[in-house]
Amino acid sequence: MGHPAEHRLILRQEVLERLIANAPLADILTLIARGVEEERPALFASIQLRDPAGKHLRNGAAPSVPDFYTQAIDGIAIGEGVGSCGTAAARRERVVVADIASHPFWADFRELAARAGFAACWSEPICDSAGHLLGTFALYSRTSLEPDATDLELIQQAAQLAALAIEKSRAEEQLRLASSVFKSSSEAITVTDENNRIIAVNPAFTRVTGYTAQEVVGQDPKILASGRQGKSFYQTMWQALNESGQWQGEIWNRRKNGEMYAEWLSINAIRDESGKIIRRIAMFSDLTERKKAEEVIWQQTNYDQLTGLPNRRLFGDRLHQELRRAQREHRSLAVMFIDLDRFREVNEAHGHDIGDGLLVEAARRILSAVRETDTVSRFSGDEFIVALPLPPSTEPELVERVAQTVLQRIAEPFAIGSEHAFLSASIGIALYPSDATDVDSLMKCVDQALNAAKASGTNHYGWFMPELQAAARVRRQLIRDLRGALATGQLEVHFQPVVETATEQVTKAEALLRWRHPEHGMISPAQFIPLAEEVGVIVEIGDWVFREVVWQIKRWRAAGHAIQIAINKSPRQFVAGNSQQEWIDYMRELDVPPESLVIEITEGLLLDGRSEVTSKLLAFREAGVKIAIDDFGTGYSALSYLQKFSVDFLKIDRSFINDLTTDQKDRALADAIVVMAQKLGLKVIAEGVETQAQRDHLAEVGCDYIQGWYYGKAVPATEFEASFLKRG
């Protein structure tokens, strides 16, 4: 054995070599312990390590200490009076106990020490360069003993050597941890040096960009630039990087395969002690998927999925922009509101798939009728809206020409397989700035223009007129008044005679509602029934008309007049409420035969697919109530449905009768309806007969009944009785 100093040098050398070779910490600590024991063979070395929480000491290396002893002291607390080691660790200073048997620190461990034969214990704290506790280095002696100067030097040097080993192995662990984060991160990471050259990239970087580490190390990260952002973008980025060392944001880069992608990039700088930036770490994640999802959402919130046209929302935005531009450039702008006439009927007759197809085709035709600079939008179900920015000093005829073209295109037959469907449209037009100057008001104007166009018949276009606004005011007023009209006795039921053609006898009548308005005088049902339908009071009003009529039948029957009376029933009344049973019961109660009542419905109702509508209709039929189809020829005119529901009467609409004697086509149609209806076992009633000539022609073709001013207008019950019901 050589000189202690020489010996320690060799030990130190050996420890460093092991450290460089990355030997496990436990091996190195054992080496230190054994090295010390070789220098001082009478002593036993024990190294303990601070646990991560800093509360306890765990065994590090004690190759010559009996196992039962090391096991017993594994995990002792760091604290004052906990043996030599616990106390040394707590105080961060050496604790020398020369006689365990008498020392108070050893009170709890005396027996244990005796079993191992230990009489003295000197413990030196192991600390890192910053003075933080790493563990303890202890030497035990089997005799009571004070350390001499060489011993103290030995302990101190051994503790320093252990500190070195522990620190290095901890640092390595951190590195390993950092490197595994680097490798397994789902975010791509680039590390650049002070010259902004890439020095490392992780596997996620290769996944996102397609470049391997070899391909990019030594390069400037700008090889990823897409060119989508301009110089100023990068200038701002670098300014932030140089000032705060940080930047984050969205940036477009290009993959190795040329594809562009959006990434969320955050760059952080690492500085040396002098504050100079030595590394930059850039982390980014691919936003492409998220971008795609955002795009889909944007698409769905702004476009109609069926036709691909901008929806109401986007149209609102565009119109707003267009109005601002029109204002700036002193131009005008037209808004066109297009509504497909009776589309609901077509939709229900052919099914929604075909209906959808028709809408797509209608959209295409509208697009084909306007310029590319016009915005066509699907506003709702069968409504389209178009914004047409107009060149300066455009004549209104130009807008009318566009409207005319739209109407023409829509009127062309739509092919459904081998069949054809026919559609028509109504168009309302409003103008900026003459009608309104903001989006909301312009939309109100165009809506009123459309309503007016529809009221004047199908396949029409109409301009907004200020009078329309007044009409809208009156309308709102009427709706308010209508609610009270029934309660205040302003409504009356009048009766119009229906004459049997063959005998010229009045055997039937139609009950027609009249509203005697205190200010506006007599208001036509054609005007207020739609309002009543709209606000729902039609149900209440309809029930009242029914009861009035049933009472009237009862009275006239009592007076010996077996008359049959028809009442009109709106589709709305079939949907809301459950009146059919109440109506049937009411008639039974008053002992009025169900056959003396006819319910007039429109064709559209038969096409209504809803089962509650058909079941209500069938309930009336079963009870014996008669059914008539009103205004036949103006709607969808599906004769097969008439048979399916075994309808009793068909009322040919007044519009065919009007020109019966002058228009060849109308006559042919009316004649055909009479013949067809009779083939199907229906009785035909001609409405709106005003002249002898019309009556004669209808009598000739065999029309069963005639109703019209030729025989008489609708009049109050007493007048009806006096004029048309003779005794006997």
Residues of this chain that interact with ligand C2E (CB under 6 A) are 496, 512-513, 524-526, 529, 542, 545, 567-570, 600, 630-631, 654, 687-690, 707-709, 714
Query: 717: helix, coil or strand?
Result: helix
Pick the closer one to ligand C2E by CB: 78 or 529.
529
Tell me whether residue 372 is exposed, middle or buried, using C-beta atoms within 10 angstroms of its C-beta: 0 to 12, 13 to 18, 19 or more.
exposed
Yes or no: say if 277 and 246 are a contact pair by the CB < 8 Å rule.
no
Q: How far is the CB of 304 from Mg ion (least distance, A)?
A: 37
What are the residues whose beta carbons fall under 8 Å from the beta carbon of 602, sequence distance 6 or more? 571, 629, 630, 631, 635
Q: Which does 221 bind (CB under 5 to 8 A by kind): ligand C2E, Mg ion, none?
A: none
> Distance (Å, rounded) from C-alpha 261 to C-alpha 288?
6
Yes or no: say if 29 and 61 are a contact pair by the CB < 8 Å rule.
yes
Q: Which does 550 bind (CB under 5 to 8 A by kind): ligand C2E, Mg ion, none?
A: none
Q: Which does 690 bind (CB under 5 to 8 A by kind): ligand C2E, Mg ion, none?
A: ligand C2E
Q: Which two tokens stand for residue 659?
A: 């020109």
> Distance (Å, rounded) from C-alpha 59 to C-alpha 482?
96
Q: How far is the CB of 613 from ligand C2E (least distance, A)?
A: 15
Site string for Mg ion, 405-434 (x = CB under 5 A): ------------------------------
Pick the closer one to Mg ion by CB: 466 or 716.
716
Q: How far is the CB of 520 from ligand C2E (least distance, A)?
A: 15
Yes or no: say if 504 and 707 are a contact pair by the CB < 8 Å rule.
no
Q: Which does 529 bind (CB under 5 to 8 A by kind): ligand C2E, Mg ion, none?
A: ligand C2E
Q: How far is the CB of 525 from ligand C2E (least distance, A)?
A: 3
Which helix (H) or strand (E) segment is 58 a member of? strand 56-61
- Scanning residues 624 to 653, which ones bind Mg ion (CB under 5 A)? 630-631
Pick the closer one to ligand C2E by CB: 263 or 600.
600
Yes or no: say if 124 and 137 are a contact pair by the CB < 8 Å rule.
yes
CA-derived radius of gyration, the chain: 50
Q: Which does 545 bind (CB under 5 to 8 A by kind): ligand C2E, Mg ion, none?
A: ligand C2E
Task: Name the residue with tokens 């027996």.
Answer: 111
Tell me whether residue 557 is exposed, middle or buried, using C-beta atoms within 10 angstroms of its C-beta: 0 to 12, 13 to 18, 19 or more.
middle
Q: How far is the CB of 648 from ligand C2E (least distance, A)?
A: 16
Which among 30, 347, 332 has a CA at the least distance from the CA of 161? 30
Cβ neighbour number for residue 156 with a 10 Å cutoff: 13
Pick the closer one to ligand C2E by CB: 554 or 654.
654
Pick the closer one to ligand C2E by CB: 201 or 601.
601
Q: Which does 569 bind (CB under 5 to 8 A by kind): Mg ion, ligand C2E, none?
A: ligand C2E
Site string for Mg ion, 675-694 (x = CB under 5 A): ------------x-------
Pick the closer one to Mg ion by CB: 44 or 583.
583
Q: Counting contacts by CB under 5 A, is residue 568 touching Mg ion?
A: yes
Q: Which does 340 bind (CB under 5 to 8 A by kind): ligand C2E, Mg ion, none?
A: none
Q: Which does 512 bind (CB under 5 to 8 A by kind): ligand C2E, Mg ion, none?
A: ligand C2E
Could you give the angle at the alpha carbon of 184 between the alpha carbons of 183 and 185, nearest 5°? 100
DSSP, residue by residue, 154-195? HHHHHHHHHHHHHHHHHHHHHHHHHHHHHHH-SSEEEEEETT
Q: How far is the CB of 687 from Mg ion (least distance, A)?
A: 5
Q: Which does 344 bind (CB under 5 to 8 A by kind): ligand C2E, Mg ion, none?
A: none
Q: Which does 280 bind (CB under 5 to 8 A by kind): ligand C2E, Mg ion, none?
A: none
Q: Which two tokens stand for residue 702?
A: 């065999």
Segment lying near Mg ion (by CB under 5 A), choices 205-213, 277-285, 500-508, 563-571: 563-571
Q: Which does 110 bind (CB under 5 to 8 A by kind): ligand C2E, Mg ion, none?
A: none
Q: Which two tokens stand for residue 517?
A: 């308005």
Q: Which does 513 bind (CB under 5 to 8 A by kind): ligand C2E, Mg ion, none?
A: ligand C2E
Q: Counting contacts by CB under 5 A, is residue 435 touching Mg ion?
A: no
Q: How far is the CB of 689 from ligand C2E (least distance, A)?
A: 6
Task: Name the residue with tokens 């039921």.
Answer: 493
Q: How far is the CB of 703 from ligand C2E (least distance, A)?
A: 14
Q: How far is the CB of 412 from Mg ion (least distance, A)?
A: 30
Q: How far is the CB of 352 from ligand C2E (least distance, A)?
A: 28
Region for residue 450 given its phi and psi (left: phi exceeds 0; alpha: psi -120 to 50; beta: otherwise): alpha
Which helix (H) or strand (E) segment is 476 a member of? helix 466-485
Q: Which does 709 bind (CB under 5 to 8 A by kind): Mg ion, ligand C2E, none?
A: ligand C2E
Q: How far is the CB of 529 from Mg ion (least distance, A)?
A: 10
Q: Which does 334 bind (CB under 5 to 8 A by kind): Mg ion, ligand C2E, none?
A: none
Pick the closer one to ligand C2E by CB: 73 or 715.
715
Pick the closer one to ligand C2E by CB: 46 or 570.
570
Pick the closer one to Mg ion by CB: 221 or 688.
688
Q: How far is the CB of 475 from ligand C2E (least distance, A)?
A: 16
Q: How far is the CB of 524 from ligand C2E (least distance, A)?
A: 5
Q: Counting contacts by CB under 5 A, is residue 603 touching Mg ion?
A: no
Q: How far is the CB of 584 from Mg ion (least distance, A)?
A: 21
> Distance (Å, rounded) from C-alpha 85 to C-alpha 78?
8
> Distance (Å, rounded) from C-alpha 29 to C-alpha 674?
115
> Distance (Å, rounded) from C-alpha 541 to C-alpha 513?
9
* Bridge partners, residue 333, by sequence: 389, 432
Q: What are phi and psi of 714, to 5 degrees?
A: -70, 130
DSSP, residue by residue, 580-643? HHHHHHHHHHTT--GGGEEEEEEHHHHH---HHHHHHHHHHHHHT-EEEEEEETSS---HHHHH
Pick the closer one to ligand C2E by CB: 221 or 497.
497
Q: How far is the CB of 645 from ligand C2E (least distance, A)?
A: 18
Cα 457 to Cα 416, 452, 454, 460, 634: the distances in Å are 26, 9, 5, 7, 11
Segment lying near Mg ion (by CB under 5 A), choices 237-245, 561-569, 634-642, 707-715: 561-569
Q: Which does 407 bind (CB under 5 to 8 A by kind): ligand C2E, Mg ion, none?
A: none
Q: Which does 383 bind (CB under 5 to 8 A by kind): Mg ion, ligand C2E, none?
A: none
Task: Name the residue with tokens 């531009």.
Answer: 325
Q: Position 709: which residue type? A: W
Pick the closer one to ligand C2E by CB: 319 or 647.
647
Yes or no: say if 59 and 74 are a contact pair by the CB < 8 Å rule.
yes
Q: How far is the CB of 402 from ligand C2E (least distance, A)?
A: 34
Pick the closer one to ligand C2E by CB: 387 or 689.
689
Q: Quote the crossing angle between the two packed helices 343-350 and 352-369, to the nearest 10°.
A: 140
Binding site for Mg ion (CB under 5 A): 568, 600, 630-631, 687
